[in-house]
Structure 1
Amino acid sequence: MTVWTASDRVQRWYESRFDQARAATGRPVIGVVGVDVPVEIIESCGARAYRLSAVDRQPTVEAVRLLGGAVDASAHSILDQILAGDFDFLRGLVISRDSQSSLRLFYVLRALAAEGRTVPPIHLVDLLHIRRESTRKYNVDQIDKFAAAVAQWTGRTHTIENLRTACTVRAELAGRLREVRARRSAEEPTVSGTTALRLYALSQTVPPEESLSLTDSILSAREPVAGRVRIFVTGSAHDHDHDYAALEAGGAQVVGEDHSWGDPLADLWTEVGEATHLGAAHSTIAAHRLQCSPLAQTSGLGERARYSAECVRRSGAQAVLSLVRRNDPAPGWDYPSLVEELDSVVPTAKLTGATYSWQREELVAAIEQLEREECEASTR
């Protein structure tokens, strides 16, 4: 009889998350592209949010032609899946303007819809990130329009009571994910980087109640984690677990990251308190998101470098590995500023040019390089 550990159960859920969303009954599924979509709005309208990710297959010539060659491969893959009908079960698709590739994807889908092609109904959420009052007001208007679109798709009225409930559940999940973040970076970690990444992905692709249950199972299990060197991952977002699994199989322990499929997710969601009307609740959500982690595509270089360096220190990382995919320029611009901010205290390495994921041999070589540099630094 096979005995499944908590990590095994999380892996099984992670690997089947698309099939489960496609087979879901009882609640419509709303697709999400990007991290700037407040999914609690979707859930308050009785729907299930599912954040789209790339798959490890070659996109079609049409998908590449429509988006253009100089676009991150993740966007090519998502468009390819849409054109293939993989997401024909979606009631609608919400795209956040958190990168140029996401914005281009929105325009391509809008043009295809105008031509009569079969694509999901789409809506663009354009949340800004400059911390000032005018930004908050603009973002509240964006959330109002987004909520109206979702309510129309689901046929369910968006109410303050439902939103308050959805926000409470999301805030509870965020608290659990912050505990995951702390456990994986502890001196004696009980959550691996790969498991943490899978939990973050599940928090955006399965109902939050199920995500809570899976997260609690990991926190209760306290499974020991081994690794020769503690690594912090920066660079492109990892919407898959291939690189993390290879790094940890190669002897690293991934103790943190600063991309939009990782640790920053633990700070995204908040309760709306005693808000008595939707305007106040939307304002609370907008204000909270203005204080969230600065990401590579939506922040200034200095702010981003200071944030990432603080994350490195907080995680207790012995080294930093930047993984930057081809045609994903923003993380590459961040790297020199991060190295400067760390002031040579923590060894760093950078891999570039992969279309989607790196070869295991490349990642193992990077680990070995960082191990040597960390040993040299510790003996000075």
Structure 2
Amino acid sequence: MLPDRNDAVARWRADGRPVAGYVGADVPVELLTAAGLLPLRLTGSPDEDASAGRERLGGGLDAVACSVLTRLLEGAYGHLDVLVLSRDCEASLRLFYVLREIRRVEPSIALPPLHLVDVLHLPHHTTTRYVLAKVRQFRSWLEAVAGQRIGDDDLAAAIAAHDRVRGLLREVGTHRGERRLTGTEALSLVSVTTAMPVDEAEKLVQEVLSTLPGGEPRPGRPVYLTGSSHDTPAVYQALEDAGRLIVGEDHDWGDLLAVADVGAPTELALAERYQFAGPAAPRASIAERAAHTAAALRERGAESLLSYVRRHDDAPPWDFPAQREAAGVPATLVDRQEYGSIDLAGVPR
């Protein structure tokens, strides 16, 4: 039984320590940890009314961003000392601009200091220099709002700790290929690790790995999931209740979150890790996505490919034809789905 995401945050706050809410996998969480902040990745909630966020963000935007904004406006995440967003997709970028404007014109709404980390993903040295400048800018901003210097030793320790967690999560992925845990369990585990101190996350994943059941593999037809990201397990649970077993995925709440380590205790290594952090749908070429998806699918032994796409998430459908061709297994696109749900009628048995 995994702990609730809110438990570790509540314990951290009870000790009077600061919390950093963040949106997007391009935020260098190592710097948050090194600054003495708890990195809390913000999730939406498909079961809650998100009309307040939708009204401010406008139509035609992924429902996750609308939900996150609504929850921020309603104080659902508790007190946040800072709020950091990345430019991992158009929805995150628009969310940042709207939050910045709210802070400017509506001071009665209590929002914390806000920062955008603009990580680009082109494979060029000039891009690396740009991302490095943004990493250094983020470090300086954190030092200013925290009122203390982030030492090189603190950064090195944080990098090493987060790399250890990523390595353990890759082990979890290996066991998924062996069908020793479900996709719902794996997704829930990743989610919990993004809401607790990195040392506690490391212990939790070690405990999960040490207690994985042996014997018969988990039941279900093994399927590899692509398309939109999933910050809640609702769609995974629906698919697995219907007889599928999600053995892997290529979104950044799942396998992509742990795809690469920083490896060295430097700002440059940190910048390169996030620049080359994996081919997510909003920021990679169609060819890169297809090659990555096909290789990961084969590694996990999936028998089919399923592309699940939420309404107003425009990038994944462009990838699907090339992914289908590269995968070499039966492939299905389930498009225009509502946040947190799936029309199983469109998924082959």
**TM-score (structure 1 length as normaliser):** 0.86
Between the aligned partners of 1:106 and 1:165, the Cα distance in structure 2 is: 29
The corresponding residue for 1:278 is none
The corresponding residue for 1:266 is 258
Q: Which of 183, 203, 213 pairs up with 1:193? A: 183
Aligned length: 343
Between the aligned partners of 1:358 and 1:229, the Cα distance in structure 2 is: 20
Between the aligned partners of 2:8 and 2:156, the Cα distance in structure 1 is: 26
Between the aligned partners of 1:193 and 1:91, the Cα distance in structure 2 is: 33
- Note if 1:286 corresponds to 2:278: no
Determine if contact 2:121/2:275 at 8 Å carries over to the other structure: yes
The corresponding residue for 1:86 is 76
Q: Which of 79, 93, 113 pairs up with 1:121? A: 113
Deviates more, 1:189-198 or 1:249-258: 189-198
The corresponding residue for 1:346 is 329
SS at match of 2:83: strand
Change (3 A) 1:212 1:23: closer
Determine if contact 1:91/1:154 at 8 Å carries over to the other structure: no
What amino acid does structure 1 have at the position aligned with 2:36?
A: G
- Note if 1:164 corresponds to 2:150: no
Q: Which of 295, 319, 323 pairs up with 2:304? A: 319
Determine if contact 2:8/2:195 at 8 Å carries over to the other structure: no
Change (3 A) 1:229 1:353: same
The corresponding residue for 1:356 is 339
Unmatched segments (≥5 aa) in structure 2: none
Q: Which of 166, 184, 202 pairs up with 1:212? A: 202
Between the aligned partners of 1:214 and 1:23, the Cα distance in structure 2 is: 16
Q: Which of 239, 242, 258 pairs up with 1:247? A: 239
SS at match of 1:24: helix
Deviates more, 1:324-333 or 1:284-293: 284-293
Counterpart mapping for 1:38-53 below 5 A: 38-53=28-43
Percent identity over the alignment is 34
What amino acid does structure 1 have at the position aligned with 2:221?
A: V
Determine if contact 2:279/2:292 at 8 Å carries over to the other structure: yes
Between the aligned partners of 2:56 and 2:303, the Cα distance in structure 1 is: 42
Determine if contact 1:63/1:80 at 8 Å carries over to the other structure: yes
Determine if contact 2:160/2:263 at 8 Å carries over to the other structure: yes
Change (3 A) 1:317 1:42: same
Determine if contact 1:199/1:211 at 8 Å carries over to the other structure: no
Q: Which of 227, 246, 256 pairs up with 1:235? A: 227
- Note if 1:33 corresponds to 2:27: no
Change (3 A) 1:217 1:23: closer
- Note if 1:57 corresponds to 2:47: yes
Q: Deviations over 1:321-347 (max 9, x none)?
A: 1110000011111111211222xx201
Determine if contact 1:191/1:218 at 8 Å carries over to the other structure: no
Deviates more, 1:133-142 or 1:303-312: 303-312
Q: Deviations over 1:245-284 (max 9, x none)?
A: 22222221110000110001112432325xxxxxxx1111
Q: Cα distance, 1:354 vs. partner?
A: 2.1
Q: Deviations over 1:276-312 (max 9, x none)?
A: xxxxx11111122333211101111111111111111
SS at match of 1:353: strand
What amino acid does structure 2 have at the position aligned with 1:230?
A: P
Deviates more, 1:72-81 or 1:117-126: 117-126
Between the aligned partners of 2:239 and 2:112, the Cα distance in structure 1 is: 36
Change (3 A) 1:366 1:254: farther
SS at match of 1:292: coil
Q: Cα distance, 1:173 vs. partner?
A: 0.8
Between the aligned partners of 2:20 and 2:118, the Cα distance in structure 1 is: 17
Between the aligned partners of 2:104 and 2:62, the Cα distance in structure 1 is: 25
Q: Cα distance, 1:60 vs. partner?
A: 4.4
**TM-score (structure 2 length as normaliser):** 0.94
What amino acid does structure 1 have at the position aligned with 2:213?
A: E
Determine if contact 1:41/1:147 at 8 Å carries over to the other structure: yes
Q: Cα distance, 1:22 vs. partner?
A: 4.5
What amino acid does structure 2 have at the position aligned with 1:352?
A: D
Between the aligned partners of 1:321 and 1:366, the Cα distance in structure 2 is: 10
